[in-house]
Amino acid sequence: MSLARHVLRSYRATPNTLSTISRLPINHFSTTRPNRLQTTDKKNRIPEKEVPVTDYDAGHSSAHKHTVHVFQDGATPHTNIPPAWQEQESVNPLTRDVYEQMPHTMRSMSMFGKTVIITGGARGLGNHMARACAEAGAKNIVIFDANQELGDEAAAELHDKTGLPISFYRVDVRDAAAITASVEACVEKYGVPDVLINSAGIADSNIKAETYDVAMFRRLIDINLTGSFLMSQAVGRAMIAARKPGSIILVASMSGSIVNYPQEQSCYNASKAGVIQLGKSLAAEWAKNDIRVNCISPGYMDTALNRVPALEAQKKIWKSLTPQNRLGNVDDLNGLCVFLGSDASKFMTGANLIIDGGYTCY
Ligand SMILES: NC(=O)c1ccc[n+]([C@@H]2O[C@H](COP(=O)([O-])OP(=O)(O)OC[C@H]3O[C@@H](n4cnc5c(N)ncnc54)[C@H](O)[C@@H]3O)[C@@H](O)[C@H]2O)c1
């Protein structure tokens, strides 16, 4: 555990913070460097009382010049309180008319006309990313999920809300033959997909390594890691055969880069580290085929995966270790997913993008 994380954890867990800090080795808190910087900063600072501003307002051809008052303690009063998050019920697909009126930059950030396959799209993060793809202009959306009931419901709901062609394939991402047949059927119906989003995954936590059941360990690796590979292989193969550029988005986790606290979950962490390295390897191999592969690595998200009574107490600790002091909302990956699926990210491949409310800062 890094010293910073140890201090923070002690700070948050122990009311007697000062005594905790005073027990730490004194040389970790050397003040030489900050003091020198502060002195230099004071000498070089030219304090402004007013900042001159030139505004060109809509509907006015001439400039409006004015000044902004500078608060000498560096603080400006905050009056804008961000609105509370509300789950969006409606899904409004991007229409051709609106797309054609959009400026170039906004068009490049859309998924207009693209066909998307999304695994784990029956619920949770995958389901919300599917909705976001529809709002960003996707032409067809295909959900692959192992859960028949949820998959049927999700496909019907997305079709009702958008009017778009939506398909659901009941596929277990461990089943290579079912994946191959289903991807071939999608290609037949909708053409070669432009985007694959791999969100299917499971989590086991609070299992100590010394007592981890081997069958459970193998099952999780099979779903999270091998499943991501099998889906990428089948869709990548179709893209390569058709010489079609594409974007593959793997949902990994911050657990692929850090070790979560306080719960033991060695297998999940290893599976997600594997997904990140799989993503980089595929990105390097398939760059010549114009196929990009990137990972989204979420922090703790408020989804059914985490809505289990056994985790309630731990959630308080997770929040306290997250600078934003909250779990991610179920739609907090949407913007990043659309960006990675769109042409706005066309020079990005092999990246692992952590989206965690700041958890990995500490
Ligand atoms: N929720 C979090 O805090 C969090 C954090 C980091 C990463 N993630 C990752 O994000 C992804 C989605 O998580 P979520 O919170 O939306 O989970 P979720 O449990 O709400 O949804 C996962 C979906 O995957 C499907 N699925 C599970 N096993 C499958 C299989 N073998 N084959 C096909 N489909 C299968 C489920 O039926 C479900 O619809 C997972 O890969 C997860 O590891 C989640």
Structure confidence at residue 303 (pLDDT)? 93
Same domain flag for 220 and 286: yes
pLDDT digit string (tens) for 202-236?
A: 999 999 999 999 999 999 999 999 999 999 999 99
Structure confidence at residue 314 (pLDDT)? 94
Same domain flag for 201 and 347: yes
Same domain flag for 119 and 227: yes
**Half-sphere exposure of 232 toward its Cβ, with a 13 Å CA cutoff?**
27
Residue 62 lies in a domain: no
Stretch 317-321: mean pLDDT: 97
pLDDT-derived band of residue 86, with 50, 70 and 90 as boundaries?
low
Structure confidence at residue 137 (pLDDT)? 98
CATH label of the domain that carries residue 138? 3.40.50.720
pLDDT-derived band of residue 72, with 50, 70 and 90 as boundaries?
low
Of 27, 44, 61, the last residue of a domain is 44
Percent with pLDDT over 90 in the chain? 76
Structure confidence at residue 27 (pLDDT)? 41
Same domain flag for 205 and 342: yes
Gap from CA of 306 to ligand 1 centroid (Å): 10
Stretch 313-317: mean pLDDT: 94
Task: Please identify, by atom number, the ligand 1 atom nearest to the C-alpha of residue 328.
Answer: 3
Same domain flag for 25 and 117: no
Task: Please identify, by atom number, the ligand 1 atom nearest to the C-alpha of residue 222.
Answer: 31
Q: Domain containing 312: what range?
A: 96-361
pLDDT reading at 301 higher than 70: yes
Per the structure, the count of domains in the chain is 2
pLDDT reading at 16 higher than 80: no
Same domain flag for 133 and 275: yes
Instruction: Tell which residue, 350, 227, 352, 223, has the closest CA to residue 298.
Output: 352
59-68, 76-85, 277-286: which is most confident: 277-286
Residue 115 lies in a domain: yes
Same domain flag for 32 and 103: no
pLDDT digit string (tens) for 247-262?
A: 999 999 999 999 999 9
pLDDT reading at 19 higher than 60: no
Q: How far is CA 360 from the centre of its chain?
A: 13
Q: Verify whether residue 56 is a known catalytic residue.
A: no
Same domain flag for 8 and 149: no
Distance between CA 41 and CA 22 in Å, rounded? 29
Gap from CA of 272 to ligand 1 centroid (Å): 12
Residue 102 lies in a domain: yes
Same domain flag for 9 and 126: no
Q: Which of 272, 297, 300, 359 is catalytic?
A: 272
Residue 72 lies in a domain: no
Secondary structure in 3-state letters for the chain? CCHHHHHHHHHHHCCCHHHHHHCCCHHHHCCHHHHHHHHHHHHHCCCCCEEEEEECCCCCCCCEEEEEECCCCCCCCCCCCCCCCCCCCCCCCCCHHHHHHCCHHHHHCCCCCCEEEEECCCCHHHHHHHHHHHHCCCCEEEEEECCHHHHHHHHHHHHHHHCCCEEEEECCCCCHHHHHHHHHHHHHHHCCCCEEEECCCCCCCCECHHHCCHHHHHHHHHHHHHHHHHHHHHHHHHHHHCCCCEEEEEECCHHHCCCCCCCCEHHHHHHHHHHHHHHHHHHHHHHHHCEEEEEEEECCECCHHHCCHHHHHHHHHHHHCCCCCCCECCCCCHHHHHHHHCHHHCCCCCCEEEECCCHHHC
pLDDT-derived band of residue 194, with 50, 70 and 90 as boundaries?
very high
Residue 64 lies in a domain: no
pLDDT reading at 311 higher than 80: yes
pLDDT-derived band of residue 143, with 50, 70 and 90 as boundaries?
very high
Residue 81 lies in a domain: no
Residue 100 lies in a domain: yes
Structure confidence at residue 4 (pLDDT)? 46
Q: Verify whether residue 11 is a known catalytic residue.
A: no
pLDDT reading at 37 higher than 60: no
Which has more confidence, 189 or 77?
A: 189
Gap from CA of 198 to ligand 1 centroid (Å): 9
Same domain flag for 162 and 231: yes
Ligand 1 lined by 223 (C-beta under 6 Å)? yes
Same domain flag for 8 and 142: no
Same domain flag for 20 and 107: no
pLDDT reading at 71 higher than 80: no
Residue 71 lies in a domain: no
The per-residue pLDDT of the chain, averaged, comes to 88
Enter the tokens of residue 127.
């389901």
